[in-house]
Structure 1
Amino acid sequence: MRLLLLGVRGSTPAPGPEYVRYGGHTSCVAVLPAGDNGDGAPALVLDAGTGIRQLAGPFRGAILLSHLHWDHVQGLPFSRAVDHPDSRAELVVPVVPGADPLATLTGQMSPPHFPIEPGGLLGDWTFTRPAPVRELAGMTVRQAEVTHKGGVTVGTRIERDGTSVVYLPDHAPQLGSAAAEELAAGADLLIHDGQFRPEEQALADAYGHATITDALDFAARCGVRRLLLTHHAPGRTDDQLDAMAKEWPDVEFARQGETVTPSDRSRSRTR
Structure 2
Amino acid sequence: MRLAMLGVRGSTPAPGPAFTRYGGNTSCVAVLPDGVPGGLPGELPGDGDVPALVLDAGTGLRGLGRLLGDAAFRGSIVLTHLHWDHMQGLPFCPALDRPDARVDLYLPSPRPLETLTRVMSPPHFPITPDGLGGAWRFLTSASRPIEGFDVTVAEISHKGGTTLGVRVERDGRSIAYLPDHCPQAGCEAAAELAAGVDLLLHDGQFLPGERALADAYGHATTADAAAFAARCGARRLVLTHHAPTRTDDALDVLAKEFEVAREGDVLVV
Same-fold status (TM-score > 0.5)? yes
**Counterparts of 2:137 and 2:35 in 1: how far apart (Å)?**
25
Per the TM alignment, residue 178 of structure 1 is displaced from its structure 2 partner at its CA by 0.8
Choose from 128, 152, 175 the match for 1:117.
128
Matched, 1:241 2:266: no
Asked whether the equivalents of residues 27 and 58 of structure 2 are also in contact (C-alpha less than 8 Å), the reply is yes
Within a 5 Å distance, the mapping from 1:143-158 to structure 2 comes to: 143-158=153-168
Say which SS state the counterpart of residue 220 (structure 2) adopts: coil
Matched, 1:174 2:181: no
Within a 5 Å distance, the mapping from 1:178-217 to structure 2 comes to: 178-217=188-227
Matched, 1:87 2:94: no
Choose from 66, 86, 94 the match for 2:80.
66
**Counterparts of 1:66 and 1:82 in 2: how far apart (Å)?**
19
Q: Residue 256 of structure 1 aligns with which residue?
A: 263
Asked whether the equivalents of residues 18 and 238 of structure 1 are also in contact (C-alpha less than 8 Å), the reply is yes
Per the TM alignment, residue 42 of structure 1 is displaced from its structure 2 partner at its CA by 5.6
Asked whether the equivalents of residues 79 and 87 of structure 2 are also in contact (C-alpha less than 8 Å), the reply is yes
Per the TM alignment, residue 81 of structure 1 is displaced from its structure 2 partner at its CA by 1.1
**Counterparts of 1:91 and 1:79 in 2: how far apart (Å)?**
14
Listed as ranges, the gaps of 5+ residues in structure 2 are: 38-43, 66-70
Asked whether the equivalents of residues 92 and 127 of structure 1 are also in contact (C-alpha less than 8 Å), the reply is yes
Amino acid at match of 2:79: L
Amino acid at match of 1:117: T
Say which SS state the counterpart of residue 113 (structure 2) adopts: helix
**Counterparts of 2:78 and 2:199 in 1: how far apart (Å)?**
18
* TM-score (norm. length: structure 2): 0.92
Structure 1 ranges of 4+ moved more than 4 A? 35-38
* TM-score (norm. length: structure 1): 0.91
Per the TM alignment, residue 130 of structure 1 is displaced from its structure 2 partner at its CA by 1.0
Q: Residue 3 of structure 2 aligns with which residue?
A: 3
Listed as ranges, the gaps of 5+ residues in structure 1 are: 263-271
Q: How many residues align?
A: 255
Choose from 122, 139, 143 the match for 2:149.
139
Q: Deviations over 1:101-132 (max 9, x none)?
A: 0000100111111111111111000000111x
